[in-house]
Structure 1
Amino acid sequence: MARLPRLTLPGFPHHIIQRGNNRQAVFSCAADHQMLLRLLDESARKFGVALHAYVLMDNHFHLLATPSTADGLPQMMQAAGRRYVRYFNDSQGRSGTLWEGRYRATVIEAERYLLACMAYIDLNPVRAGLVAEARDYPWSSHGHYAGLRVDSLLTPHPLVWALGNTPFAREAAYASLVRAGITLEQQELLTRSALSGWALGEGDFLAELQKRTERRVTKNQAGRPTTTPKEDFPAA
């Protein structure tokens, strides 16, 4: 069976997951994290992608981003990913693949899932037991939105601006949202949709989305069932 192409649509937020091959670590030190962020920043600007959120874990990373063109997101991921592999292999004296195949991604309905996805991304290190609170983890976008530091690679989504009329109000509202957490259902939906490639949203949103692409945006209800890729790392 032919591999289903990734769903990539300009103007919509995409939740992206890239994992290390065979669960291997893709970062060995702070310089590695800084390098990938720099490469993502350069590639995002070059290919017209707005990066809204990120978290870099030991063996995988998540992004939330909105491309301005149909090719912007894959171009960004390919450019940053290839350059990072060359850097990492040279620094570690290794060769061969680093990533577990192609990145996974799908479109999410902003009004319903964007802020939940940002909290989901921020809470990865907490779920993994690396830190007690999202604010304690240095390699995520949480610090920017909670007012702890400025991250120049980030472009806040309009829904973040709508959290308050002043920077302090927005930061307080966002930090409160993350502390409240997300439901297990939201966590599972966000994980499953990104890994499977099916769009995440309500019926009207999905119907409108389908008009914009020939690629199916949801799994067929009839016929032979397809298999959803299994989540196999602890902090998705």
Structure 2
Amino acid sequence: MARLARLSVAGYPHHVIQRGNNRQAIFLDETDYERMLQLLREASARHRVGLHAWVLLPGQMQLLATPQDADGLPRMMQDVGRAYVRTFNNRHLRSGTLWEGRYRNTVVDPDLLLHAMACLDSLPVREQLARSPQGYAWSSSAHYTGERSERMVTPPTQIWQLGNTPFAREDAYRALLHEHESGHGCAQFQEAALGGWAHGSPDFVLQLQQLTGRRLQKSQAGRPARKAPEAG
């Protein structure tokens, strides 16, 4: 069955997943990670995409981003993907494809954005790459907990819900990260991006479906239930 067209809706947060072909590593050393961050900084500014959170893992990267224009996100990902592969292949004396295919993404309910950010930033702990989310160098978690300042971060307005001062917000985000280290509630978030389905409340999905004119939820397996016969 043909894949659904990717969702790209201006003004809404998107969860993006880009993985290596056959699950191969896409980052082999610190220079690779730094190169990807550089490309993301440049392309997000060029195409007016606000990056809220990201995590770079050895075999994949995941982003949470809001494009100002519907074509901003696909253009950003195209620029980043092409430039990174050229650099990666030249540095590591290889040729051919690096990505498993087109990136996967979904639109995220703004009311769930803080939850989505915590799912991304705590992923290195679940992957056993770090003992704490903020201890991992290649994610946005340390920015929101105050350990490091990252200039390409565009904090979403929802971050103000966490407290009235920077210290209160940092403490609250640490607590949110700890709550999500076990992956609580994160599986559906990942599945939505991989399947191209909207992630949010029924009201949000209905609103987005009316806006895009596209089916945004996975169909239920099996045949539709038969209607009960009317009483005679």
TM-score computed with the length of structure 2 as normaliser: 0.92
Looking at structure 1, the residues matched to 178 and 202 of structure 2 have their Cα atoms a distance apart, in angstroms, of 29
Deviation, 1:215, is 2.2
1:186 match: secondary structure: coil
Aligned twin of 1:211:
210
1:162 match: secondary structure: helix
2:37 match: secondary structure: helix
Looking at structure 2, the residues matched to 186 and 162 of structure 1 have their Cα atoms a distance apart, in angstroms, of 20
Look up the equivalent residue of 2:31 and give its one-letter code: A
Q: Which runs of 5+ in 2 are unaligned?
A: 225-232
Deviation, 1:220, is 3.4
The structure number with the bigger radius of gyration is 2
Looking at structure 2, the residues matched to 204 and 150 of structure 1 have their Cα atoms a distance apart, in angstroms, of 36
Does the alignment pair 1:88 with 2:88? yes
Looking at structure 2, the residues matched to 172 and 12 of structure 1 have their Cα atoms a distance apart, in angstroms, of 26
Look up the equivalent residue of 2:133 and give its one-letter code: A
Look up the equivalent residue of 1:204 and give its one-letter code: D
Alignment map for 1:88-107 (pairs within 5 Å): 88-107=88-107
Query: Once superposed, which parts of structure 1, at least 4 consecutive aligned residues long, lie more than 3 Å away?
Result: 182-185, 220-225
> Does the aligned pair in 1 maintain the 2:126–2:182 contact within 8 Å?
no
Aligned twin of 1:69:
69
Instruction: Evaluate the alpha carbon distance shift between residue 214 and residue 124 of structure 1 in structure 2; reply closer, same or farther with a 3 A threshold.
Output: same
Look up the equivalent residue of 1:206 and give its one-letter code: V
| TM-align CA RMSD | 1.6
Aligned twin of 1:159:
158
* Identity among equivalent pairs (%): 51
For residues 131-168 of structure 1, give each alpha carbon's deviation from its aligned partner in whole angstroms, at most 9, with x where no partner exists. 11111110000000000010001100001122111111
Q: Which runs of 5+ in 1 are unaligned?
A: 226-236
Looking at structure 2, the residues matched to 36 and 28 of structure 1 have their Cα atoms a distance apart, in angstroms, of 12
> Does the aligned pair in 2 maintain the 1:13–1:66 contact within 8 Å?
yes
2:170 match: secondary structure: helix
1:45 match: secondary structure: helix
Looking at structure 2, the residues matched to 224 and 35 of structure 1 have their Cα atoms a distance apart, in angstroms, of 49
> Does the aligned pair in 1 maintain the 2:19–2:100 contact within 8 Å?
yes
Aligned twin of 1:191:
190
Aligned twin of 1:32:
32
For residues 3-51 of structure 1, give each alpha carbon's deviation from its aligned partner in whole angstroms, at most 9, with x where no partner exists. 3101111111111110001111111111110110110111111111000
Alignment map for 1:107-186 (pairs within 5 Å): 107-111=107-111, 113-181=112-180, 184=183, 186=185
> Does the aligned pair in 2 maintain the 1:7–1:215 contact within 8 Å?
no
Looking at structure 2, the residues matched to 134 and 193 of structure 1 have their Cα atoms a distance apart, in angstroms, of 23
For residues 54-97 of structure 1, give each alpha carbon's deviation from its aligned partner in whole angstroms, at most 9, with x where no partner exists. 00000001100011111010000000110000000000011000
